Every structure is written in structure tokens, then in C-alpha cells.
Structure 1
Amino acid sequence: MEFNETKNIFLQIRDWVADQILQGKIVAGEKVPSVRELAVDMEVNRNTVMRSYSLMEEEGIIENKRGIGFFVAADAKRNLLKMQKQTFLKDELPSILHQIEVLKLNSEDLQILIQTIQSNDHANQ
């Protein structure tokens, strides 16, 4: 994994695991890689991975089954979707809307995006 210098590594690891859950690559009840395994795979200190896992445990994304390991929580995907939608609407969408305004984009310019969103809506139904 290529780490971004502008964001803490433990947060990037958390985001990577969250993305794996949202994409269905790791599902509810499934064991996530051990702290040691993930540290080796990502070439980071085990304490960094443990910090990521502790944060995800606090957020209700994973749960620790002592002596067995960390597992994806039953409602992890739902919680992640809710958290990430809130973050997007609060932090990212205002910047996008500002760019639309500055670039004077109109509905015709955005039609491809609108069609993509509508296609995703139909695919998810």
C-alpha cells in the first residue's frame, strides 16, 4: 500500500480495512488479518496497526474476540456507510459544489454524472 504523507498511517489503514468491508471483500463475522499479518503486509509497525484496530473497535466496525482475533462486526457495513455518507456530505460535497459554481458547470455538463448516479440507483435496487 502506498501511504499518503498528509494523513496519519493508522487512519489510512483504518480507511483501507473500511473500504474492504464496504466492497464486500471482508464480510460481517469474518476474521480480519491479525495485527502481525497486516503489519508485515503493509510494512508498518504492529503498534500502528493496533492503533487502527483500536479505533475501528471503538467505532463498532470490528470486535475483538480474545484469544481468537479481530472480526468484522455484524453491523459494520451499515455503520461505515452512515459514517462515510455524513463525512462526504459535511467535508467533501461543499468543495465539489463550490467547484461546480466556480467552473460555471450546468446540468448539461453534469448529465453524465447524473446518469451514472441513476444507473447505480437501479443496480442497487
Structure 2
Amino acid sequence: MEFRDNKAIYLQIAAYVCEHILLGKWKVDEKVSSVREMAVALEVNPNTVMRTYELLQSKNIISNKRGIGFFVAENALVNVKDYLKTQFIEEELPVVFRNVYLLNIGFDELETRYNTFVKETFNP
């Protein structure tokens, strides 16, 4: 995983975990890598991973089974979508809207490009 400078590492790891859940790579009640395993795999400090897990636990995306480890929570898929949607709307969408306005891009063009993107990316 390559980290970007513009966002905290623990948030980037949270996005990584969420993406795995959304893509179905990690399923409900499946054990998540331990803090140490994840830290080694991503080459980060275990405290950073712990911060990520605490965030995801507070969002009910993962849960801690005492003495066993962290697991994908029962409603993780819904909670991931809510968490990422809120984050996108509050942080990324204003930047997109600003660029759409400044570049005078019409909604028809956006819709066309969006449909092409979906078709090429998810239905090749």
C-alpha cells in the first residue's frame, strides 16, 4: 500500500479496510488481521493500526471479541457505506464542485463521463 501525504495514514488504512469489506474480500464475522500483522504488512507502527481499528470500531465496522481479535461487524457493509459516503460528501465533493464550477463543466458531460467510467471499470 502506498500512502499519500495529504491524508493521515490511519485514515488511509481505514479506507483500505473499508474497500476490502465493500469488495467482499472480508466478510461479516470474518477475523481481521491482528494489529501487529497489519502493521507488519503495511510497514507502519502498530499504534497507527490500533488507531485505525479504534476508529472502525467506533463506526461499527469492526468489532473486538475480547481475547480473540477483531472481526468484521454484522452490519459492516451498511456502516462502511454510511461512513465513506459522509466522508466523501464532506471532504471530496466540495473540491469536485469547485472544479466543476471553475472549469464550467456541465452536468450532461459529467453524466456521460460517469456512465463511461462505470461501464469501462465495472463492466469491461
TM-score bracket relative to the smaller structure: 0.7 to 0.9
1:40-85 deviation digits (Å, cap 9, x = unpaired): 1111122221121111111111001112110000111101111221
Structure 2's unaligned 5+ residue stretches are none
The DSSP-based 3-state class of the residue aligned with 2:70 is strand
Provide TM-score, normalisation by structure 1.
0.82
Say yes or no: does 1:50 pair with 2:50. yes
% same residue? 45
- Is the contact between residue 59 and residue 83 of structure 2 (CA under 8 Å) also seen in structure 1? no
Counterpart residue number, 1:81? 81
Measure how far apart 1:7 and its partner are. Answer: 2.1
Q: How does 1:17-96 map to 2 (within 5 A)?
A: 17-96=17-96
The number of equivalent residue pairs is 120
Which is worse superposed, 76-85 or 6-15?
6-15
Relative to structure 1, is the Cα distance of residues 6 and 33 closer, same or farther in structure 2, using a 3 angstrom cutoff? same
Structure 1's unaligned 5+ residue stretches are none
CA RMSD, Structure 1 to Structure 2 (Å): 2.1
Provide TM-score, normalisation by structure 2.
0.83
